[in-house]
Amino acid sequence: MNKSANILINAMLNYKKAFALLNGNLLKLLSMSFADIITIYVSLFTLSLFSAAIEQPLYEFLINLPNPAAVESNSGTIITISFILLYAVIYLLLTFLQPISWKIAFGILGIKHTYKKIMRHILLTNLFLILFIAAINLYHDLFTTLNKITGITAINSYFLQLSYIIMMLLALYLLLVSYSTLFPFRKSVLFAAKNFAELLIPFILILLTFAVIHLIMAASFYLHPYFNIVLGFVLFLPSLSFARIYFMLSVK
């Protein structure tokens, strides 16, 4: 049996094992889901406050963009400060909230890590990842804006979108590796690169799982909006816990 077949078999066995572990730890699954609800709700609430705060400055900035000398405005400064504050607040929120679910996940696998150890790891990892994601968003937004305003295609729009998606998936991949191993970020990157062939199938299976859930939830919305919310609790939240357990099994 060749190496590729072994990788695929191990990926499928771990997929099945992850389901079995969660099925045998329903209380911990509910605890993880509740922690994820809090994390998602607080993050979305923060984003809504941010959106409300920059709505008027952003409108002024865009109106004056073709001729910035026409009207003096501090909208650009407000937008810049708002974005910095947003990333800082989200960074702190995720640093303190994410370790709860991951500590429970490690416990299901019989791995004992303190909340403090996981928090310190996420504190450093998130710093690198948020800077990386901010750079990706800057790259995307900058060239999208240049293409629209100048009318000159600085980067082909198809390539721009494709490269943006690939880089965001890379950030997600590094996040999963780092959180699942608790290696220092540099070691996590090296581990992720060295074991890319073995971890690619589990990563793809996680993406496919969420893709299927997204399609189900999108279809349910047309039946009734509340049905979509119910499926979010029944399918999406447990899938976050499943993804943690499954990827942690994959990196062992």
User: Whole-prediction pTM value?
Assistant: 0.82
What pLDDT score does 62 carry?
54
| Residue 214 pLDDT | 87
Dihedral of the CA atoms 18, 19, 21, 26 (nearest 10)? 140
Number of compact structural domains in the chain: 1
Query: Rounded distance, CA 140 to CA 230, Å?
Result: 34
Q: What is the pLDDT of residue 150?
A: 63
* Domain containing residue 60: 3-251
3 state DSSP class of 16: helix
CB 208 within 8 A of CB 174: no
Q: What is the DSSP string of 106-172?
A: HHHTT----HHHHHHHHHHHHHHHHHHHHHHHHHHHHHHHHHHHH-S-SS-HHHHHHHHHHHHHHHH
Give the pLDDT confidence score for residue 54 in this predicted structure: 60
- CB within 8 A of 25, min separation 6: which ones? 108
Q: Split the chain (252 residues) into runs of 10 and give each run's mean pLDDT.
A: 81 93 93 91 78 60 54 59 76 88 95 93 89 83 72 73 91 94 92 94 95 87 78 87 95 88
